[in-house]
């Protein structure tokens, strides 16, 4: 996994059975998330369901060679897009590191399914769009754009810096696109990312157009920013953007600005974002921001919204 946690191959393989987009491993940085089981509302399991979970655990241990040194937390069983299958959250822990995923098992216990399951009667990305909110977020592009890209990003993430450069090309090539920036600092591996996110937000609060100046300066200077100098660097960037330095520093130290960044991250978590950069193109997820794929998604979304 590029830039992510250094999990063993055995733990990483849980992601291969998860209902996550395959780009998860491509040009993105990720951190371990809370157990999928913890995010599912628990109900009392019937004896049959308890037996099914036990049988399923034995099967996946055999399938992925997860011996006794691997701790598995399965369940609780939840409804899936198919009435014949349960959705089964799983958390795998090995050598103190964890990862999570989802798979499916038939209610009769005879079929195990890995991958994604969709209800074909519904728009597969409508749920994502319902959870994405632009209010109070920096944006570029027309408000009535045919294609809206939500970008969940981390200022310390090297792959996010690559995406920053890619999006400059996209903006030049696709006038029908609006980009909305969302903060998703992964503090476990990027110690100054949250402070940078707070600083960029403070620039937006003082003068919305200054956000993009500070945003660009952070990415352009990513290699020379550290936990020791991030505050001073941000103040210098704010001054360069024509902001009042004293007001900027007051905001930078405020709990309100930190809460804004936390709200952005919570929105990402509600959308199952676990790595950066993660994009949503009219609700369609793209992890890593590969340009050919991004161009494909933009063209498809644009054509779908054009009059015929």
> 246 and 167, same structural domain?
yes
Edge to edge, what strands does the sheet with 139-140 contain? 139-140, 177-183, 147-153, 278-281, 284-287
> 269 and 170, same structural domain?
yes
> 269 and 191, same structural domain?
yes
> 132 and 90, same structural domain?
no
Q: What is the count of structural domains for the chain?
A: 2
CATH number, domain containing residue 83: 3.10.450.630
- Domain of 176, in residue numbers: 126-305
Calculate the CA 122 to chain-centre distance. Answer: 23
Which pTM does this prediction carry?
0.79
Nearest to 76 by CA among 95, 89, 64, 63: 89
Tens place of pLDDT per residue across the chain (308 aa): 333 333 343 444 444 444 333 333 345 776 655 444 344 444 678 999 999 999 999 999 999 999 999 999 999 999 999 999 999 999 999 988 888 889 999 999 999 999 888 889 999 999 999 999 998 999 999 999 999 999 999 999 999 999 999 999 999 999 999 999 999 999 999 999 999 999 999 999 999 999 999 999 999 999 999 999 999 999 999 999 999 999 999 999 999 999 999 999 999 999 989 899 999 999 999 999 999 999 999 999 999 876 65
pLDDT score at 96: 86
Half-sphere exposure (Cβ direction) of 32: Cα atoms closer than 13 Å? 18
Is 3 inside a domain boundary?
A: no
Question: What are the start-end ranges of the H helices in 178-229?
Answer: 193-206, 210-220
Is 120 inside a domain boundary?
A: no
- Enumerate the β-bridge partners of residue 101: 90
Distances in Å between the Cα of 24 and the Cα atoms of 20, 271, 285 are 7, 14, 10
Residues 75, 81, 83, 88, Cα dihedral to 10°: -10
Domain boundary among 82, 113, 144: 113
Is 1 inside a domain boundary?
A: no
Is 118 inside a domain boundary?
A: no
pLDDT score at 135: 87
Domain boundary among 113, 143, 166: 113
pLDDT score at 98: 83
> 158 and 92, same structural domain?
no
CATH number, domain containing residue 285: 3.40.30.10
Is 147 inside a domain boundary?
A: yes
pLDDT score at 44: 76
Is 25 inside a domain boundary?
A: yes
> 180 and 138, same structural domain?
yes
> 147 and 79, same structural domain?
no
Token representation of residue 283: 């609700």
pLDDT score at 240: 98
> 298 and 211, same structural domain?
yes
Domain boundary among 80, 113, 146: 113
């Amino acid at each position: 996994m590029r830039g992510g946690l250094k999990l063993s191959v055995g733990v990483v393989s849980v992601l291969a059975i998860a209902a996550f987009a395959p780009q998860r491993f491509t040009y993105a940085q990720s951190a371990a998330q809370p157990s999928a089981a913890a995010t599912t509302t628990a109900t009392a399991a019937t004896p049959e369901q308890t037996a099914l979970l036990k049988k399923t655990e034995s099967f996946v241990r055999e399938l992925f060679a997860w011996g006794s040194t691997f701790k598995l937390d399965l369940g609780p069983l939840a409804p899936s897009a198919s009435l014949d299958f349960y959705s089964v959250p799983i958390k795998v822990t090995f050598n103190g590191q964890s990862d999570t995923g989802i798979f499916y098992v038939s209610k009769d216990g005879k079929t195990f399914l890995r991958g994604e399951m969709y209800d074909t009667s519904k728009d597969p990305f409508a749920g994502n769009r319902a959870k994405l909110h632009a209010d109070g977020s920096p944006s570029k592009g027309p408000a009535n754009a045919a294609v809206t890209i939500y970008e969940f990003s981390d200022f310390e993430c090297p792959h996010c810096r690559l995406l920053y450069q890619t999006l400059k090309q996209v903006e030049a090539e696709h006038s029908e696109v609006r980009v909305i920036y969302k903060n998703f600092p992964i503090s476990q591996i990027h110690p100054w990312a949250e402070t940078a996110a707070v600083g960029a937000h403070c620039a937006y609060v003082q003068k919305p157009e200054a956000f993009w100046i500070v945003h660009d300066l952070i990415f352009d200077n990513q290699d020379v920013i550290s936990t020791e100098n991030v505050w001073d660097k941000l103040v210098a960037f704010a001054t360069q953007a024509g902001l009042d330095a004293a007001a900027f520093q007051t905001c930078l130290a405020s709990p309100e600005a930190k809460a804004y960044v936390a709200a952005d991250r919570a929105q990402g978590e509600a959308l199952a974002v676990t790595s950066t950069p993660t994009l949503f193109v009219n609700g369609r997820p793209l992890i890593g921001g590969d340009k050919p794929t991004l161009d494909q998604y933009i063209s498809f979304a644009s054509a779908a919204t054009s009059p015929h």
